[in-house]
Amino acid sequence: MIPAFFGLAGTTLTDAERGLFAAADPAGYILFKRNVETPDQVRALTDSLRALSGNARLPILIDQEGGRVARLRPPHWPEFPPPALFGAAWNKAPLTAMAAARANAQALATMLTGLGITVDCLPLLDVKAEGMHEVIGDRSYGTDPHMVASLGRATLDGLKAGGVVGVVKHIPGHGRGTLDSHLALPTVTASAEELEADLIPFRRLADAPMAMTAHILYTAWDDELCASLSPTIISDIIRGSIGFDNLLMSDDLGMHALGLQPCGNSMAGRATGVLEAGCDIALHCSGDFAEMEEISGALSAIGEMAHARLLRAMAWAAEPTGETDSLAARRDALLAAA
């Protein structure tokens, strides 16, 4: 098994993908809009990935946050609200907002488990700051780190109750980024003292099963390497100050922020770079076959500690309970009451 999560090109595995994945044995996969058409098709796809790997609890990820970041959409799947809606409800009735966030996440998870998807890249713990880029925007719960932590915890609990593994992101915080890391390298010049507020939600959810790094340069901690590539930030801040000791994956290797780092445009260099910095898993989302071949050829087998963290993360979620419709109705009633 190699320490990578891969995307794939379409709605079914190609023969070339099947051969590469069988040989390389990536630790898991991530689905996007290009991979989903109908519930039956998605379930057949996830079943084929499990059969290929021989792993019944294979990590199959998706970004199903609600709002504008949702790979599964009508008419086959319901719309879910963006995280900011729960932040707005918190300002009126915090306990009700937490209950609504939990019910919402459990409904999301119940939907995903029916499709064979085992990991949702949620919740965002990015604390919204003045001047932040709209790449985060309403994906953030809001500006109060304690509120972000509480709603993040409720969301994580709801995912667990629905049988899905949650991922806190973007550690150690994307809320001050003024650029979109998909397109450029954001630089945060806030002091270490100012950044303490950004760490609060991650510290409070340091027991989360998985976390995803931010491709952001934080000059107070490392003025040369972004968090995903910085041994200093991963060791001293993420593992040290925050206290996160579970599975750490990079954000997508294909994002242009990494092209402005020493690894440049080499996908092999990006993958080995994040792993050497201290990430357990390199995430590659595009499904580009040549890039996946390049990454697979550059990576050694997953390390013992990273593998143990992966197994622990995938054992974290409970057996799914509840029905999507009734949970969503409870969420809506709670939001209306807030």
With 0-12 CB in 10 A as exposed, 13-18 as middle and 19+ as buried, what is 264? exposed
Are residues 155 and 101 in contact, defined by beta-carbon separation less than 8 angstroms?
Answer: yes
251 is catalytic: yes
Among residues 120, 251, 252, 280, which one is catalytic?
A: 251
- Is residue 187 helix, strand or coil? strand
Among residues 40, 182, 223, 325, which one is catalytic?
A: 182
Residue with the two structure tokens 């450029």: 184
With 0-12 CB in 10 A as exposed, 13-18 as middle and 19+ as buried, what is 56? exposed
* Nearest CA-CA partner of 26 in 18, 34, 16, 15: 18
List residues bridging with 210 in a β-sheet: 167, 247
Contacts of 128 (CB under 8 A, 6+ apart): 136, 140, 141, 142, 143, 175
Identity of the residue numbered 68: R
Q: Which two tokens stand for residue 201?
A: 């939600």
* Beta strand pairing call for 217-218 and 187-188: parallel
Are residues 216 and 253 in contact, defined by beta-carbon separation less than 8 angstroms?
Answer: no
- The CA R_g of the chain, rounded to the nearest whole Å, is 19
Are residues 267 and 295 in contact, defined by beta-carbon separation less than 8 angstroms?
Answer: yes
Backbone angles phi, psi at 281, to 5 degrees: -135, 135
Contacts of 253 (CB under 8 A, 6+ apart): 267, 270, 271, 274, 282, 283, 284, 285, 295
Which residues are catalytic, by number?
Answer: 182, 251
